[in-house]
Structure 1
Amino acid sequence: MGSRSIRRVMVAASVVVASLGISVGFSGVANASPQRCEITMHNNGYIVGAKVKAACGNANASTSPLDPVAAAQRLACKAQLIALGVKSGHAQDACFSY
């Protein structure tokens, strides 16, 4: 193999590895859902009543991590839970569950 062939193989391999890293890095954000939100709240010791369920209803299971509507819904979920007295870290985990 010549120098150019080796370089092309290395560039191709780098692109594949980088694309895998990007997709794995973004995959967690898209997994939030109302059900996971409610389970996370319950597991953190909160009572999952009507207000928590309403807030968790905004946890969106969008397939695109770059979906601005889903991002706004997850932020609304977090803000509503915090307004109910949920610790910020718990609200983050619930609305942006991985």
Structure 2
Amino acid sequence: MKRVLAGFVGTAALVGGMLTLASPAQASTNDCEGFLRNHGYVVKSKVRLACKKGEPGGGIPKMLCRIELKDLGVKKRHAELACDLASA
């Protein structure tokens, strides 16, 4: 019984540690940036900030993300999809 409990505790600690490696918002921002890179855009600080603004929190952050990306020269559809990923 002690072995089973020790195995469970070890597994729980491992899973808990993995969950703290990347917060969901960070993963979403990375998804936005990765999508844009894969579609030929250069991702620098202004694009990163726009993706970060699209993080979960309602429609306004996503709208700001889209506007900023379009202002930076990202095609409308690409901006929409990238910001959808950021807000996921």
1:11-90 alignment runs, 5 A limit:
33-60=28-55, 62=56, 69-90=57-78
Q: How far apart, in 2, do the equivalents of 1:93 and 1:35 lie? A: 13
- Distance of aligned partners of 1:59 and 1:33 in 2 relative to their CA distance in 1, 3 Å threshold: farther
Task: Deviation per CA, 1:4-57: give whole Å up to 9, x if none.
Answer: xxxxxxxxxxxxxxxxxxxxxxxxxxxx92111101110110000011001011
State the TM-score, normalized to the length of structure 2: 0.62
Answer 1 or 2: which has greater helix percent.
Answer: 2
Computed over aligned residues only, the root mean square deviation of the Cα atoms, in angstroms, reads 1.7
Identity of aligned residues (%): 37
Which 4+ residue blocks in structure 1 deviate beyond 6 angstroms?
none
State the TM-score, normalized to the length of structure 1: 0.56
Q: How far apart, in 1, do the equivalents of 2:36 and 2:46 lie? A: 12
Equivalent residue number for residue 20 of structure 2: none
The residue type paired with residue 93 of structure 1 is L
Greater C-alpha Rg: 1
The residue type paired with residue 46 of structure 2 is K
Q: How far apart, in 2, do the equivalents of 1:57 and 1:94 lie? A: 11
